[in-house]
Amino acid sequence: MQKVWVGQLWSLVEHFQQQWSKLDPNATRFIPSTAMHRLILLLNYPLGLANTPGVDMETSLRRAARDVLKQLDIPEVKGRVKFQSVLQALAHRASGGVSLPKESAVTQELE
């Protein structure tokens, strides 16, 4: 999996925010956990699967989205997932396992 460079971080976060807002138009910071499949398909690679190198068939992307969901460990509260938890889990996956410290400037600004 391609590693995400720090210089790309802000553009990825901005794209994540834009796609999240489509699923959370009232800015509650939560979406239904059932919307995660759609979010993963909307997000550009490497956070999500849109524009994934070598994958262009819709059925392959849907199958890949199911596989990504199985890999993620995102806490669910009453059938919903939180913005911060989803972003951190997807960033962790995209970076090959490198996590942002909980008190980093990026995570503080997003809260």
Is the previous residue joined to 75 through a cis bond, with omega within 30 degrees of 0?
A: no
Mean predicted lDDT score pLDDT of the chain: 84
User: Residues with Cβ < 8 Å from 74, sequence gap 6 or more?
Assistant: 33, 36, 81, 85, 86, 89
Report the predicted TM-score, pTM, of the whole model to 2 decimal places: 0.78
Q: What is the pLDDT of residues 41-88, one digit of tens each?
A: 999 998 999 988 877 677 788 888 899 999 898 999 999 999 999 999
